[in-house]
Amino acid sequence: MSVFANPVLHGFNPDPSILRVGDDFYIATSTFEWFPGVQIHHSRDLVNWRLAGRPLSRASQLDMRGDPDSCGVWAPDLTYVDGLFWLIFTDVKRYGQTTVNGAEGASFRDFHNYVVTAPSIEGPWSDPVHLNSSGFDPALFHDEDGRCWLLNMLWDHRPDRGRFGGIVIQEMDKASRRLIGERHLIFKGTERYFTEGPHLYRRDGWYHLLVAEGGTGWNHAVVMARSRNLFGPYEVHPDGAVLTAHGARDGALTRTGHGDLVELKDGTTWLAYLCGRPLPGLERCPLGRETAIQPMVWGEDGWLRSLTAHAAPDPTPPLPALPAHPWPRADWDGRFDAAELPSEFQWLRSPLPERLWSLSERPGHLRLFGRESISSHFEQALVARRFENMHFTATTCLDFAPDHFQQSAGLVCYYNSTKFYYFTLSSDEGRRCLRLLWAIPGEGAQDELVCGIVPDGEIEMRVHVEGASLRFGWRSRGDEVWSWVPHTFDASILSDEVSIHGLPNFTGAFVGMACQDVSGAGQPADFAYFRYEPLD
């Protein structure tokens, strides 16, 4: 039997919503504070995927300046009906601190749910229409009678209540994009708790509700319930979870949950879900939550089940009965000589990229304009791409003339504002110097001089990541020998699992280029190239 390897989307690509339109498959995933918002990948065979676009790409659609770490765009839902693609998403504006069932005190959060539409997956995508703010993980269900329903988890801020209040549903008028009628609480969840990520399907006269439970950590699970009536009551699957890694903290696929179903033309059903791949023995996943997919089967009793024993995730599922469709390799030599930013890059929060970077100010270079500090939640000039491998190098070439110590630019490995490693070129007493800035939860931020005198001209910077080991090096452009910083850093802290208590951690590690000018002068830095080279 021929198989393929999970995950199918490497690096930070969580909360998959999967859709088939004819012979084409699409997966939409969360982007949180990274702009543009929502990643949509396209496939013809469920195995080979290419990035089709990021639809929330302008200020009228999304502005995340000020959104806290791991807030912004959560859990998009992608459907197709009436000749339109419908994309639902949450923009989280306030998170507060993590809570558990029965936590004391009120817990106020702000979740705003929106819908955008487009006639094609490439767009143009409409401006958003606000639907509600009662909770997160919204999804649309298009019933057989043509009516459309919005589901989302219900957030309960009241003291001494379970924050996850269950799944609610309310009708949406497709013409006006507005909710109508009353909302109904249709499912309170199971003892696994943290009921979220709803998707609804209709099959053989049953409404099948798929939810995520257990929290998006080691105990994550995909749980199913069904009812003959849209509003319930919903009967929970007799086996409990239909997919879970059962708390495993090591292995090929862990943290599995938050799934969505797609049916192939041959009638087979596949489940897309998020997963984590921990570094061996460390219980940490720097690549973030990734997307995997595997076949499921409907039993004679009408319930959905995995082909694996004990509803386990499958690292090597059988190939689907589809013609193989690999995409042509989009090889990029790393030079910034095109009119558009290469598709692997994103930046943080701001819908105004012209304030942060330019490809035309100095042709053949990416110019970053020095903005706020590396820990800013507002306007930060940081352009980066996902870690997609456990072992890689990333190299860039920097031309920068800082006037003083408040101006810096360089190569960064970044998870969020509380955990990063930043190798910078700056100035001290009129001389260019190299510094290392880093932040580790529980230890705070550090700033250390690495080299007190750096020759004029362009310098090349490199980071080498091998599992939990991370090292920086540099050289003047044209030199052959790298000078390696004596520190070896712990790359594993760039993960969800290492955190300041109570803060959200839902993304993944990025590597890229950054420029700060906290004096406000906007001193620019020019990058001639950026090369990411997998080594595993």
Angle at 435 between CA 431 and CA 440, to 5 degrees: 160
Nearest alpha-carbon partner for 14 in 291, 256, 345, 255:
291
> In terms of Cα–Cα distance, which of 528, 513, 511, 434 is closest to 475?
434
Angle (nearest 5°) at CA 484 between 481 and 490: 145
Q: Which residue, 270, 206, 269, is CA-closest to 237? A: 206
Question: Whole-angstrom Cα distance, residue 378 to residue 360?
Answer: 24
List CB contacts of 344: < 8 A, sequence separation 6 or more. 51, 385, 386, 532
**409 with 403: CB under 8 angstroms?**
no
Among candidates 255, 243, 327, which has minimal Cα distance to 287?
Answer: 255
Distances (CA, A) of 484 to 39, 461, 463, 472, 500: 35, 10, 9, 6, 30
Residues 6+ apart with CB under 8 A from 70: 32, 33, 95, 416, 503, 504, 505, 506, 507
Nearest Cα residue to 230 out of 175, 173, 178, 167:
167
Amino acid found at 61: Q
Q: Measured between alpha carbons, how far is 393 from 404 in angstroms, rounded to an integer?
A: 30
Among residues 235, 283, 344, 379, which one is catalytic? 379
CA separation for the pair 371, 515 (Å, rounded): 7
Which of 70, 65, 69 shows the shortest CA–CA distance to 379?
A: 65
Give the CA-trace dihedral at 438, 441, 443, 449, to 10 degrees. Answer: 0
| Catalytic residue flag (residue 379) | yes
Helix (H) or strand (E) holding 444: strand 444-451
Q: E-strand spans in 159-316?
A: 164-173, 178-187, 196-203, 206-213, 221-227, 235-244, 254-263, 269-276, 290-298, 304-306
Catalytic (active-site) positions:
379
